[in-house]
Amino acid sequence: MKNEKQKPKKALRTAQYKSTFLTPTEFLARNGKTVYISKEFHQKLSQLVFMLGGGKLTLADYLYNLLQHHFDDYGAEMRAMYDKTKKPNF
């Protein structure tokens, strides 16, 4: 009985993940900046994007979606912490 209740919840989480992170964006990597990540993360992310993106998603799309979600979720907290830091006087 427990598994029957978890299946719809898991399916919903999977659908949310797909719609949040595995959707193409209008972002063009060549218009951005270079960022370095570990070889391990690059391999994992590249494989994830290749397998789940169905050839319609780039690594830049996935990272854009991931960072956008992070900023949407934690933007207020980030601003609050930033506002509390001492800024140099110019």
Q: What is the pLDDT of residues 27-47, one digit of tens each?
A: 999 999 999 999 999 999 999
Mean pLDDT score of the chain: 91
Residue-level pLDDT at 88: 78
Q: What is the pLDDT of residues 68-81, one digit of tens each?
A: 999 999 999 999 99
Candidate from 32-36, 53-57, 85-89 with smallest mean pLDDT = 85-89
Contacts of 20 (CB under 8 A, 6+ apart): 65, 69
Q: What's the whole-model pTM score?
A: 0.80
Average pLDDT of the segment spanning 53-65 = 94
Q: Which two tokens stand for residue 43?
A: 């391999």
